[in-house]
Structure 1
Amino acid sequence: MSFHAQILTLYPEMFPGPLGVSLAGRALEEGKWSCAPIHIRDYATDKHRTVDDTPAGGGAGMVLRADILAAAVDDALARQPTAPILAMTPRGAPITQARIRALASGPGVTVLCGRFEGFDERLFDARPQIEQVSMGDIVLSGGEIGALMLLDACIRLLPGVMGATSSGDEESFEQGLLEYPHYTRPSDWEGRMIPEVLRSGDHAKIAAWRKQRAEEDTRLRRPDLWGRYKDARVQPASNVQQKNKD
């Protein structure tokens, strides 16, 4: 069974887009995943195919209507009832690599792409199974770019997509840290040398250096990740000490 992605969008022509080339494109051709963009306007009820209206209470922009979106969501859920449904919105929780791995291990995903000022909040009250997610503390012109990012992150983890099964094991976030830095030939570039340890052939020393650099870079660049990483290391140690006391 392949990974199936449904995308509820006002711009179905954006899919598969860049996911039709490189690793994701080859996986699409090989049937490892499939893509079904669904036009939200197909669920409009008037001749103008209206999907939005002015915000209650006033303000700029337009808001996607709950009744139209609910019809699209319900149809998508009927087609793929076991797949989680995610709404791309800057109001959502930032997506994590752990969540991506969980999604990639399932049957697929349905992604709802926002536009304009966003969604009528009643949609989420009435359909609590919709998971609101974001790609970080940024605002895009629509959810489609975020959906492409999310799907790419999932697709590359599908069996057989990356060359080696261990290809992603040491990447950023997989162990709670940023990935260590990489180097390649030439060994001397503008007077800057590849670190000697990486040219030593001593695999134990290389592994230790990479772990040290991953920790150092995470501490300096992402103190939020570093804090969680330290807490995760302290917790198991505390559990062991408690068991020894018992």
Structure 2
Amino acid sequence: MRIDIVSVFPEYFRTLDLSLLGKAQEHGLLQVTAHDLRDWTHDIHHSVDDTPVGGGAGMVMKPEVWAECLDELLGMDEVPDTVEDGQSSPAVLILPNPSAPLFTQRDATELSHEEHLIFGCGRYEGYDARLPEYYRGRQVDVREYSIGDYVLNGGEVAVCVMLEAITRLLPGFMGNPDSIVEESYTGAQSLLEHRQYTKPAVWRGHEAPPVLLSGDHAKVDRFRRDDALARTSEIRPDLIEALDCADLDKADRKTLISLGWEVSGSHPRRMAQKNTEQCA
């Protein structure tokens, strides 16, 4: 996989040379290059932003600077407005944006199969809104993602988050590929992962669940599945509601019913709470 990152702070991405991402680059699984957006400016001040049209606070990143950069990285011709119908760019352009749809594990899985990803890091009030619109019109697969309901100073942190989620799914990236099989949000039945424990069995008066020490693999698997269902029910009930009841076994149904879910329909739904209040 080839990854290009565009930022006004390319040095931020030196952290990608560490840990598993660094080893993956050393082993040739991926190639990561961080580019300085200011290299595509032509004025003495290397300006990448300007005041917003219509007034308002802050500065907006200039589309012409971004376009010169992206045209080069996308390998587009010098006359960018001439493109044949059906022709598309082999790269996916990803632009972090707090106003965009939430980035999910499903997105990470899909993008892990791509050969070339280009990430653009916005700053200030973000990039000109015409930028993604223009490249979509040029048959580029443009993705805008948010990583949460909050605002950052720039897209660099968001890009690092997405990169970790995507690249760890590449074949050969993880030392033990089984470690990603039962993670949160993974698989057709997307649940939060069960809690994890290690030795000692008793630590500062807190004991790991005895069933995990029983040696009975079936009981261990059932305990972990029930724990995942319970955690998901408490923290992310929307994921429970998205489950297909046809995929639930008898033990799953029993656990969900005990947690207050109705499982007789196509998807689980919360049982109606009985009104115990007496009328005055």
Q: So what's the TM-score if we normalise by structure 1?
A: 0.88
CA deviation after TM superposition for structure 1 residue 226, in Å: 2.5
SS of 2:98 mapped into structure 1 = strand
Structure 1 CA distance for aligned equivalents of residues 209 and 220 of structure 2? 10
- Please give the residue correspondences for 1:1-246 in structure 2 after superposition, counting only pairs within 5 Å: 3-15=1-13, 17-78=14-75, 81-128=89-136, 129-175=141-187, 176-229=190-243, 233=247
Structure-2 separation of matches of 1:123 and 1:83: 16
Q: Which runs of 5+ in 2 are unaligned?
A: 77-87, 249-264, 267-280
Q: Any conservation in 2 of the 1:7–1:38 contact (CA below 8 Å)?
A: yes
Deviating beyond 3 angstroms after TM superposition, the runs of 4 or more aligned structure 1 residues are: 230-234
Worse-matched range after superposition: 127-136 or 178-187? 127-136
| Greater share of residues in helix | 1
| Corresponding residue number in structure 1 for 2:260 | none
1:193 to 1:134, Cα distance in 2 relative to 1, 3 A: same
C-alpha root-mean-square deviation of aligned residues, in Å?
A: 2.0
Could you tell me how far 1:41 is from its partner in structure 2?
1.3
2:143 counterpart SS class: strand
Distance (Å, rounded) in 1 between the aligned partners of 2:209 and 2:185: 24
Partners of 1:225 and 1:139 lie apart in 2 by 25
Deviation at 1:227, TM superposition (A): 2.2
Cα distance change on mapping 1:228 and 1:205 into 2, 3 Å: same
SS in 2 for 1:166: helix
Deviates more, 1:215-224 or 1:178-187: 215-224
Decide whether aligned partners of structure 1 residues 39 and 231 sit closer, same or farther in structure 2, where only a CA change above 3 A counts. farther
Q: Does the Cα contact within 8 Å between 1:62 and 1:117 map onto a contact in 2?
A: yes
Identity between Structure 1 and Structure 2 (%) = 39
Deviation sequence 1:12-52 (CA, Å, 0-9, x none): 1112x222111111111111111111221122232221111
TM-superposed CA distance for 1:60, in Å, is 1.2
State whether residues 65 and 119 of structure 1, in contact with CA within 8 Å, keep that contact through their aligned partners in structure 2. yes
What is the alpha-carbon distance in structure 2 between the residues aligned to residue 81 and residue 14 of structure 1?
Answer: 27
Can you list the C-alpha shifts for 1:36-80, whole angstroms capped at 9, x where unaligned?
A: 112211222322211110111221110001121122222111189
